[in-house]
């Protein structure tokens, strides 16, 4: 898992493609990233979050903020 600006990214491995890929969790919008190394995937995750926030700003809308389920 990666964390950046309160967003969390889940990482998975595609062994055949030799790639790491993932998505941002706990938001309604779809934000994805990929990389060939952990460092590259982490950087792409951060880039994707920054791009998402910038895109929302350009549209004039609030970005989704992560939501979490709290157990009793």
Instruction: Kindly report, residue by residue over 21-41, the tens digit of the pLDDT.
Output: 999 999 999 999 999 999 999
Per-residue pLDDT band for 67 (boundaries 50, 70, 90) equals confident
Give the per-residue pLDDT at 7: 94
Give the per-residue pLDDT at 44: 97
Domains defined along the chain, listed by start = 2-59 (3.30.160)
What's the rounded mean pLDDT across residues 45-71? 88
Cα–Cα distance between 16 and 50 in angstroms, integer?
Answer: 29
What's the rounded mean pLDDT across residues 36-63? 96
What's the rounded mean pLDDT across residues 42-66? 95
Q: Is the dihedral of CA 49, 29, 68, 57 positive or negative?
A: positive
Cα–Cα distance between 34 and 67 in angstroms, integer?
Answer: 23
């Amino acid at each position: 898992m990666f964390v950046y600006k309160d967003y969390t990214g889940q990482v998975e491995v595609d062994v055949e493609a030799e790639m790491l890929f993932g998505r941002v969790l706990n938001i309604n919008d779809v934000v994805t990233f990929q990389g060939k190394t952990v460092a590259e995937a982490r950087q792409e995750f951060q880039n994707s979050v920054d791009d998402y926030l910038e895109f929302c700003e350009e549209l004039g809308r609030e970005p989704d903020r992560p939501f979490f389920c709290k157990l009793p």
